[in-house]
Amino acid sequence: MDTKNVSVISLGGSLIAPKSGINKSFLHSFQQLIRDETPKRSFCIITGGGAVCRRYQHALDDLSDADDTARDWMGIHVTRMHGQFVRLILGDLAHEEVVLTPNATADAIQEVPVVIGAAGDTPGHSSDYEAVAVAEAIGADHLVNLSNISHIYDADPDKNPDAKPVNKLSWSQYQDMIPGSWEPGLHIPFDPVSAEFARGCGMEVAVMSGTPIDNLRDYLNNDDFTGSLIYPE
């Protein structure tokens, strides 16, 4: 298979199930986009945990003496649940199982138009890491980070009203803007462990909002899109 025609998407859990509940409007438009685009390309979609994951992790903190590894495992299982949900929504397009390793994903995408993946069996990073690992396994040099965040900003927009979106930046510039280490529930566009991995792979990552869905369609078809592009050095 020509890996240029396989798109890897890290699908943020907060697009699937934000605080308000299951995002049926987004999921309907995402499902339609995948159906529209599969004649032209295949998709490896890695599901995240998002707000649901963080709610479980916070409750775990309140009700137990859970350590970081336990919090990560809680998050891993949420990503797998989201993976099953998205797989069922996509129906006959998707592989019959949620695939949990990059090599198995690379094998499965040879057989079906869409493979859904989720966090595997290694705590210590986010689902974005799995997306990079899948992209590396299939030989892709780029991936999409699709979430409820439209851009990378030069400061935290929730804390700084003067924060400005950054349309294009290198991995070293991005890494200078984020924490240096991983912690469960960390809420940034691309976590530190995944950023270092992607940088080492020479991966290009497009960060964008999942709404409107035509923004993703534009990127897939090499048109201008609204978001941030992290490029290899």
Indicate the residue type of 190.
F
Distance CA 40, CA 187 (A): 33
What pLDDT score was predicted for residue 180? 77
Confidence grade of residue 186 (pLDDT, cut at 50, 70, 90): low
Q: Is the pLDDT of residue 187 over 70?
A: no
Pairing of strands 228-231, 168-170: parallel
Report pLDDT for 1. 52
Mean of pLDDT values over 125-141: 92
Range of the structural domain that residue 91 is part of = 3-231
CATH of the domain at 140: 3.40.1160.10
Contacts of 52-61 spanning 24+ positions with Cβ under 8 A: 52/13, 52/17, 52/78, 52/82, 53/13, 53/78, 53/79, 53/185, 54/185, 54/187, 57/184, 57/185, 58/185
The one-letter amino acid at 90: L
Q: Given a cut of 80, is residue 128 above it in pLDDT?
A: yes
- For the segment 158-187, the average pLDDT, to the nearest whole number, is 85
Tally of domains in the chain: 1
The chain-wide mean pLDDT, for the chain, equals 92
Predicted local distance difference test score (pLDDT) of residue 45:
98
Rounded Cα distance between 13 and 18, Å, is: 7
Distance, CA of 118 to CA of 130 (rounded, Å): 7
pLDDT band at 223 (very low <50, low <70, confident <90, very high): very high
Residue 92 structure tokens? 């006959």
Q: Which of 15-24, 34-43, 91-100, 116-125 has the lowest mean pLDDT?
A: 116-125
- Cα separations in angstroms, 66 against 60, 78, 117, 127, 191: 7, 16, 26, 20, 22
Confidence band, pLDDT 50/70/90 cuts, at residue 124: confident
Q: pLDDT confidence of 183, banded at 50, 70, 90?
A: low
